[in-house]
Amino acid sequence: MTTRLTTLRDAVATHVRDGICVALEGFTHLIPFAAGHEIIRQGRRDLHLVRMTPDLIYDQMIGMGCARKLTFSWGGNPGVGSLHRLRDAVEHQWPHALELDEHTHAGMAAAYTAGAAGLPCGMLRGYLGTDLPGVNPRIRRIECPFTGEPLAAVPALNPDVTFLHAQRADARGNVALHGIVGAQREAAFAARTLIVTVEEIVDELAPAMNGIVLPHWMVTAVAHCPGGAYPSYVHDHYSRDNGFYQRWDAIARERQGFMDWMNRHVLATADHAAFLASLRETA
């Protein structure tokens, strides 16, 4: 039996090259923080980052200089306010300029769905009456050949690598996840390479009728990474650390404070277990 089990470090080293298009998906729930931190540790540059809600993990990757381009639809700290590192990159080009490919949630959902289906573009009754098409030439109009209705078209999203975090996988690399599933299934099927970190590896997955199971033959690599979504959460494992999301506002507000935090907790730690241990020391 071939195994897809590997370490997160090896998965990132093998599959993430400077300049490629990477999506770390998970809508509030199951955000692959450990994977983002490992990309930062390995010093990847010029990435085209894709994510509906950049969240804290892309704030960190952008602030650490990993990204040249961002495809997104809502760039805030949910319930708290700004992503200060994203803002600094857009408003002041720090640490360098960031190209924006800005959409709405409905548009990104259509683009991932098209990517998953192998279609060239997604179609929706969207972007009506908004200035977004005026600033993003990748949002275009097409006409329904049957009714004549004008519709919006967005190019399919096909990330070179999609990272997900999930509850569990088996030894063959079948992956099961449940709870709020966002656009993870679409981002997984749209990807050329799919890497999944999981809370636990089991001998055999229990049958999960209607639960999302990503079959082993479409999963490139699985890494056991307990706590890998923290400070996001994993249903039935641990809660979202809303207090951390609130504290991040102050940590990321100034460049120096942000760099100090990233140096101490991400660059100076060997892996995600060490990252969590470093937070426990300062708790």
Partner 1 sequence: MNEWTRDEMMTVAASRLLWDGCVCFVGIGLPSAACNLARLTHAPQIVLVYESGTVGTRPDVLPLSIGDGELADTAACVIPLPDVFSFLLQAGRVDVGFLGAAQIDRHGNLNSTVIGPYDAPRTRLPGAGGATEIAAHARQTFVMLKATPRSLVTRLDFCTSPGFLTGHGARGQTSMRGAGPRSVITDFGVLTPAPVTDELQLTALFAGVTVDEARAATGWPLQVAADVATLAQPSQQELETLRALHARTREAHNRAVRLPV
Give the pairing type, strands 121-124 and 99-102: unpaired
Q: Which is nearer to partner 1, 21 or 234 (CB)?
A: 234
Q: Which is nearer to partner 1, 13 or 155 (CB)?
A: 155
Q: Which is nearer to partner 1, 21 or 86 (CB)?
A: 86
Non-local CB neighbours of 87 within 8 Å, separated by 6+ positions: none
Helices (H), the chain: 8-15, 33-41, 55-63, 84-92, 105-117, 132-135, 184-190, 242-253, 255-262, 272-282
Judged by CB under 8 A, which of 117, 135, 267, 268 binds partner 1?
135
Judged by CB under 8 A, which of 44, 85, 103, 168 binds partner 1?
103
Token look-up 């990748």 returns 138
Q: How far is the CB of 106 from partner 1 (least distance, A)?
A: 4
Q: How far is the CB of 43 from partner 1 (least distance, A)?
A: 26
Q: How many other β-carbons are positioned within 10 Å of the β-carbon of residue 60?
A: 26
The answer to whether 157 touches 112, Cβ cutoff 8 Å, is yes
Site for partner 1 in 264-283 (CB under 8 A): 273, 276, 279-280, 283
d(CA 27, CA 179): 10
Q: Which is nearer to partner 1, 16 or 62 (CB)?
A: 62
Judged by CB under 8 A, which of 27, 94, 171, 259 binds partner 1?
27
User: Is 5 an interacting residue with respect to partner 1 (CB under 8 A)?
Assistant: no
User: Is 207 an interacting residue with respect to partner 1 (CB under 8 A)?
Assistant: no
Nearest to 201 by CA among 237, 171, 165, 235: 171
User: Is 238 an interacting residue with respect to partner 1 (CB under 8 A)?
Assistant: yes
User: Is 145 an interacting residue with respect to partner 1 (CB under 8 A)?
Assistant: no
Reduce the DSSP state of residue 14 to 3 states and report it: helix
User: Is 223 an interacting residue with respect to partner 1 (CB under 8 A)?
Assistant: no
Q: SS3 string of 92-149?
A: HCCCCCCEEEECCHHHHHHHHHHHHHCCCEEEECCCCCCCHHHHCCCCEEEECCCCCC
d(CA 118, CA 127): 23
User: Is 115 an interacting residue with respect to partner 1 (CB under 8 A)?
Assistant: no
User: Is 7 an interacting residue with respect to partner 1 (CB under 8 A)?
Assistant: no
Q: Which residues of this chain interact with partner 1, rule CB under 8 A? A: 27-29, 52-53, 72-76, 78-80, 82-83, 86-87, 90-91, 102-106, 109-110, 112-113, 124-132, 135, 149-150, 179-183, 185-186, 226-227, 230, 233-235, 237-246, 273, 276, 279-280, 283
